[in-house]
Structure 1
Amino acid sequence: MSAVSQPRPSSAFITVDPDRNGKQVGFIMIPHSPHDDAWGVTRVPVAVIKNGDGPTVVLEGGNHGDEYEGPITICDMIRDLDPGRIQGRLILMPANNVHAVVAGQRTSPVDGLNFNRTFPGDPRGTITQQIAAYVADHIYPLADAFIDLHSGGSSLDIIPSAIIEPTTDPELHRRNIAAVQAFDAPMTVVISNLGEPRTATAAACRSGLVTVGSEMGGGGTVSLEALEVCRRGVYNVLAHLGVLPSDNIMPRRNDGQLFELPGTAAYVFATADGIFEPFHPNGTAVRAGEPAGRIHCTWDPTRAPETLHYAADGILYGRRQPGRVRPGNCCLVVAAPYRGALS
């Protein structure tokens, strides 16, 4: 379990008892006083399933509100999982960025913030910052492990994959790799978000939690393939961690090869305003300097399309889903074989 530090003062409260055995479903309640509700609250759904002694695992979905496979998987577990099947405790949070989840968009319509760029949050800040602060101050200290379920959302279609969050702690790094490989997704990728420290997984690693991420398809829809990968993967990790019996581990499908996003060269960004035409499907082997796609300005046919190029060798890992682009939009993402240490 992570080291406990004194939580920052907060007006939030919870309607379930994390220490009680059995299954409880309730809310984290954060006082919220917008124009039309003087003494209301924002309700962040949370369930606790506890039985006996064992690890505590937090499962997060709805970090972004347009990513669907993780929340579906977590809600199924809340309804279907018998407490008697587990040894330990699950804290299940299917819609953490709840206002964005209801709106079906990446960022919160209340304050415009990206929940995954707010950690460790601020218990006296905007509503998104307060939710992040409650997770960081009150949920992480209860936990031994954290599973963060993402997809490409509305803007990217990503090969279903399990994600390793880098950490400077060698032992935690080793345990993270083992847990992520247990997920057994079609790809396993190390993603640092270009060193971004404000993500939920970066904060979980700083708290000493074994941390597993995922990217499950995307494109603003529910992928049946990715949903099946997500369900299998979550149960595999829970068995790996000892919360479920080992006979819940499914036969291995992945060959165990690790990939990474090779820094800024992994990304192909739009350079013009227009419509993006990709040249390759996900999973294609590509090379640096090779043409990657074109941007068309269809409202000015006298302008020739602008060609984009890959900056790294590897596998095409993700493609932008909407055709319409502006300068700076991420159009393509390349994953390369991992060159870091495995332990």
Structure 2
Amino acid sequence: MRNGIKYAILLFAIMVGFICHPVSGQDLTSIQQGTRKDTLVRIDNNDAVALSIIKGKFDGPVFTIVAGIHGFEYPPIMAVQELLKKVDPDKLHGTLLVLPMANEAAFYERSVFVNPTDDKNLNRAFPGNATGSITERIAHWISQKVIPISDVFLDIHGGDASEDLLPFVCYYHRADKPDQVAQAHRLTEAANFEYNVIYPYHLSPDDMSEYAFKEAVQQGKTALSIEAGKLGNVQPEMVAMITSGVLNMLNKMDMYPYENDKRVNQKWLREQVYIKCPATGIFYSDFRSGDKIKKGQVLGYITNVFGKKLDEVRAPSSGIVLYKIGTPPANKGETLFCIGK
């Protein structure tokens, strides 16, 4: 009975969102157990967000999957397409809320990081603004209508056009929410990635979260993120890794049957060091994501347009390269490397 009531609340909450942002010809009350509903949520007169609701044949929790917060991060988007093909509602316990492409304008315009309509980064806009620009409105809708009805919130990312990235799963360690942290840890472990990252959490209740899954943590939800893929390309092995990782999570929650892959030897990184670019120019580096580095090691250098060396980049600590700028352009102050320890 409690699950039935919960799903009724779920439908009501989404319908309230649709009343605010109408969707022509859609009536979510028609969703039956063991079925799927694809719809468009109208954010304003010109923009909508795609939403798939897969209501399982059996009762269970609400698991939200978001891809395409950054439209140039293709492996997450393609992996969610695979998941939409694979998941059979007749085998599902609970409900999947799937946003297969949260930032369509960025996807179709091949825009790096930002929505070209307002030049804003959706993953810096949370919790959003109901009367702001389109990016702020999308963030607000996710914050107000999607996250509150989610039991688990999974935000899937990858390396954007300029980022060479090591695949990993990550979550925030919010000390005052031990149950949610414990569940996030179990799901991270279940995903079966070799590398897992635990981020510190220092936000106060009134702080802006900026990131989608950090907003879910801010709201007290179990939330985590997958990072896989790099340099604005579709790597089939990354698509497969993400797809398998999500199915492993659903299996861990007893939501969906999935035969686990062979277990990998997992590594847990609990501290991150960010190396900022010392000058604007052309970046040279032979290092790649996944490389191990030592404190004081020269990781690369910056030249001006005439080839004159402006500065060297050295490792402030030992660790492994989680991600780095993988293309020549470099701007002063941006992150060149993220080192996991």
Query: Normalization by structure 1: what TM-score?
Result: 0.86
- Give the RMSD, CA atoms, in angstroms: 2.6
Whether 1:307 and 2:312 are equivalent positions in the alignment is yes
Quote the residue 1:48 is aligned against. 53
Does the 8 A contact of 2:193 with 2:266 survive in 1? no
Take 2:50 and 2:222, find their aligned partners in 1: how far apart are those partners? Answer: 23
Does the 8 A contact of 1:16 with 1:26 survive in 2? no
Whether 1:175 and 2:183 are equivalent positions in the alignment is yes
After TM superposition, list the pairs within 5 Å mapping 1:53-92 onto structure 2: 53-92=59-98
**Structure 1 letter corresponding to 2:162:** S
Quote the residue 1:142 is aligned against. 149
Take 2:96 and 2:261, find their aligned partners in 1: how far apart are those partners? Answer: 20
Take 1:239 and 1:46, find their aligned partners in 2: how far apart are those partners? Answer: 22
Does the 8 A contact of 1:9 with 1:123 survive in 2? no
Moved more, 231-240 or 132-141: 132-141
**Structure 2 letter corresponding to 1:31:** D
Does the 8 A contact of 1:272 with 1:327 survive in 2? yes
Residues 131-171 of structure 1: CA distance to partner in whole angstroms, max 9, x if unpaired? Answer: 11111111122211111110011121111111112323122
Take 1:237 and 1:272, find their aligned partners in 2: how far apart are those partners? Answer: 42
Alignment CA distance shift 1:114-1:46 (3 Å)? same
Does the 8 A contact of 1:10 with 1:124 survive in 2? no
Question: Which of residues 317, 322, 325 in structure 2 aligns to 1:317?
Answer: 322
Quote the residue 1:243 is aligned against. 255
Unaligned runs of 5+ in 2: 1-5
Alignment CA distance shift 1:29-1:279 (3 Å)? same
Moved more, 180-189 or 165-174: 165-174
Take 2:43 and 2:314, find their aligned partners in 1: how far apart are those partners? Answer: 47
Residues 57-90 of structure 1: CA distance to partner in whole angstroms, max 9, x if unpaired? Answer: 1100001111111111112222342211211111
**Structure 2 letter corresponding to 1:13:** P
Take 1:261 and 1:66, find their aligned partners in 2: how far apart are those partners? Answer: 27
**Structure 2 letter corresponding to 1:11:** C
After TM superposition, list the pairs within 5 Å mapping 1:160-239 onto structure 2: 160-168=167-175, 169-191=177-199, 197-239=209-251
**Structure 2 letter corresponding to 1:260:** R
Q: Secondary structure, in 3 states, of the residue corresponding to 1:218?
A: coil
Question: Which of residues 292, 298, 306 in structure 2 aligns to 1:291?
Answer: 298
Query: Normalization by structure 2: what TM-score?
Result: 0.86
Deviation, structure 1 residue 46: 0.8
Take 1:10 and 1:258, find their aligned partners in 2: how far apart are those partners? Answer: 44
Does the 8 A contact of 2:279 with 2:310 survive in 1? no
Question: Which of residues 10, 19, 28 in structure 2 aligns to 1:17?
Answer: 28
Quote the residue 1:96 is aligned against. 102
Alignment CA distance shift 1:279-1:113 (3 Å)? same
Take 1:97 and 1:23, find their aligned partners in 2: how far apart are those partners? Answer: 22
Deviation, structure 1 residue 285: 1.8
Take 1:199 and 1:13, find their aligned partners in 2: how far apart are those partners? Answer: 26
Deviation, structure 1 residue 237: 0.6
Take 1:58 and 1:218, find their aligned partners in 2: how far apart are those partners? Answer: 23
Q: Report the number of matched residues.
A: 321
Take 2:44 and 2:279, find their aligned partners in 1: how far apart are those partners? Answer: 43
